[in-house]
Amino acid sequence: MARAHWGCCPWLVLLCACSWEPQPWPQRTYLPVTVVNTTMSLTALRQQMQTQNLSAYIIPDTDAHMNEYIGQHDERRAWITGFTGSAGTAVVTMKKAAVWTDSRYWTQAERQMDCNWELHKEVGTTPIVTWLLTEIPAGGHVGFDPFLLSIDTWESYDLALQGSNRQLVSITTNLVDLVWGSERPPVPNQPIYALQEAFTGSTWQEKVSGVRSQMQKHQKAPTAVLLSALEETAWLFNLRASDIPYNPFFYSYTLLTDSSIRLFANKSRFSSETLSYLNSSCTGPMCVQIEDYSQVRDSIQAYALGDVRIWIGTSYTMYGIYEVIPKEKLVTDTYSPVMMTKAVKNSKEQALLKASHVRDAVAVIRYLVWLEKNVPKGTVDEFSGAELMDKFRGEEQFSSGPSFETISASGLNAALAHYSPTKELNRKLSSDEMYLLDSGGQYWDGTTDITRTVHWGTPSAFQKEAYTRVLIGNIDLSRLIFPAATSGRMVEAFARRALWDAGLNYGHGTGHGIGNFLCVHEWPVGFQSNNIAMAKGMFTSIEPGYYKDGEFGIRLEDVALVVEAKTKYPGSYLTFEVVSFVPYDRNLIDVSLLSPEHLQYLNRYYQTIREKVGPELQRRQLLEEFEWLQQHTEPLAARAPDTASWTSVLVVSTLAILGWSV
């Protein structure tokens, strides 16, 4: 079913009432050209709902694997609503249709959705259920695709609806897909390939044995591990493809039992070499049997008939799998053993990831040098800049494209979370504004992610102060010494303290794990409450920021390896070793805010950058970049210690003595 953009009403000029509705929405009486007519699709969807006896149908924003980036054929919520933001849930009843999304997307949703849709400015299942209770009659059925609700999300809908006389109904055929029909983009079908041994930390056989050994040691003696996240299967078999934007994965599940390995994927996508690499012609415990992707639910259900216990990570398993396994046959952890193992990189993986960061620094430095020369000419915009950044990365060895959509944001645009310029809509870079670049690459040896904020002219005192406080946050967390097994959540405030001190803060997380040619946001490592404890060998980003609405945005992001710390008294302590190697903008640093310890740390870091990246620039005859690097890593001069604070101590002390000695 095709749909057309509304052509009737120029954006912000004509008041074009929603004439196909008896009552126009009071809050929107014009229609921007950017809206999509969804009347026909909604009518068709409601027919499908009627066939299934549903009062409502939930359309989530995810795919069957909780991927961060989803394929076009999975963009059901975007297709049915017109709203293309990456987060937001739609619910359709027989009379109404509504979308719930967070503040990042309110404007976009209002611009893209037609009058069939209500916008709700809340998130989570509770407001959706509250709305449902008023919109659908008692006894009503609420349908959903069980492969699009995680176990947690299903449980929260289920809990919220308990006692309400409304019932959740799992329908494995996706109703939006039925309506979408032949217009739905095809599922990707490129070859699935094995990584060269040089780029893997262990062979798939070693990894399989490792997981089986964890199964044997597990108290509940699971007989199988089920892997639902695409990165789990990609990691386990050292296989890659490009089904998902920015992530080198392919649609798959793995059921790894004590005596067999069953990989659910499209068999036609494996070359004979890859099939032989997987030992797929045999049936022993070290042979990978490839079964059709679409068979996974039935196969799990059949396997679960036996005397088995299936170990799942609940965070990445969808209700569609969960509901076919009897509860007593489930062994649940938040994250699967593959997720947990993958989080800690072995020494080869560490070396690979570090190497990719050196080359990545070369690409970023090339771009920064180029900007320094070209921005003053007034010829660079955010979009062309992002393209050039991607091009420079693409020229690096082992490059396999960007690891996410480059955030290239000038001036006030940098204050918008998740802003990315488009060819049509972008801002010129200027020496009068700050510029934020958050970008990363996929390389066969590692995934990178780095953010730098620069100013080529004269920053304001407030910009310098905010930048320096963000930098102090980055340094304070990076140099923190903390006990082994501390959770990131417990220490992330060190990245915020210098900002908090002045009444400033940032609204996003402080960092996330990162993979070896896997996810740029690799769970479960990071600083949020649902991240696991820090351990030696993990990699995480450290990325405090500050955003001044309508003016500018600052973020300083590095990737760091968790390493053992040497402490004065013996103990099991950890700290971070930063592996991103691009200097900060000295034009924005207010040295007077830095303590001796900060300066010492910074100059040591600059020394490391010189040692790591300098030779690489020289080897590649990037002499202008080498020169730039030298200048930008000059040790920062230690200012004389701020005597003001010492003076005030003395004054307070003296006053106190005087005040009490009379």
Q: Please say which residue, 188 or 614, places its beta carbon nearer to a copy of itself.
A: 614
Q: Please say which residue, 428 or 489, places its beta carbon nearer to a copy of itself.
A: 489
Cβ atoms within 10 Å, residue 128: 23
| Nearest Cα residue to 71 out of 189, 244, 240, 228 | 244
- Shortest Å, Cβ 617 to a copy of itself: 13
Q: Please say which residue, 234 or 589, places its beta carbon nearer to a copy of itself.
A: 589
- Shortest Å, Cβ 539 to a copy of itself: 21
Which residues in 203-219 are b (16+ Cβ under 10 Å) and which e?
Answer: ebeebbeebbebbeeee
Say if residues 511 and 540 touch (Cβ distance below 8 Å).
yes
- Shortest Å, Cβ 499 to a copy of itself: 10
Tracing tokens 């509304």 back to the chain, one arrives at 6
**Residue 167: strand, helix, or coil:** strand
Q: Please say which residue, 190 or 630, places its beta carbon nearer to a copy of itself.
A: 630
Q: Please say which residue, 289 or 301, places its beta carbon nearer to a copy of itself.
A: 301
Distance CA 133, CA 624 (A): 65
Conformation bin of residue 10: beta by default, left when phi > 0, alpha when psi is -120 to 50: beta
**Residue 56: strand, helix, or coil:** strand
- Shortest Å, Cβ 300 to a copy of itself: 17
- Shortest Å, Cβ 490 to a copy of itself: 5
Say if residues 111 and 6 touch (Cβ distance below 8 Å).
no
- Shortest Å, Cβ 662 to a copy of itself: 12
- Shortest Å, Cβ 106 to a copy of itself: 22
| Nearest Cα residue to 271 out of 241, 305, 232, 312 | 241
Distance CA 305, CA 223 (A): 13
β-sheet bridge partners, residue 97: 92, 117
Q: Please say which residue, 270 or 482, places its beta carbon nearer to a copy of itself.
A: 482
To which H or E segment does residue 257 belong? strand 253-257
Conformation bin of residue 7: beta by default, left when phi > 0, alpha when psi is -120 to 50: alpha
Q: Please say which residue, 185 or 641, places its beta carbon nearer to a copy of itself.
A: 641
Cβ atoms within 10 Å, residue 152: 14
Query: Site residues (CB under 8 A) for a copy of itself?
Result: 126, 130, 162-163, 219, 327-329, 480-483, 486, 489-494, 497, 500-505, 567-571, 573, 596-597, 599-600, 603-604, 606-607, 610, 614, 630, 634-638, 641, 645-646, 648-650, 652-654, 656-657, 659-660
Q: Please say which residue, 497 or 536, places its beta carbon nearer to a copy of itself.
A: 497
- Shortest Å, Cβ 47 to a copy of itself: 33
Strand 446-447 relative to strand 512-513, pairing: unpaired
Sheet bearing 522-526, strands edge to edge:
482-483, 573-578, 558-564, 539-542, 512-513, 522-526
Strand 141-144 relative to strand 117-120, pairing: unpaired
Q: Please say which residue, 126 or 189, places its beta carbon nearer to a copy of itself.
A: 126
- Shortest Å, Cβ 162 to a copy of itself: 6
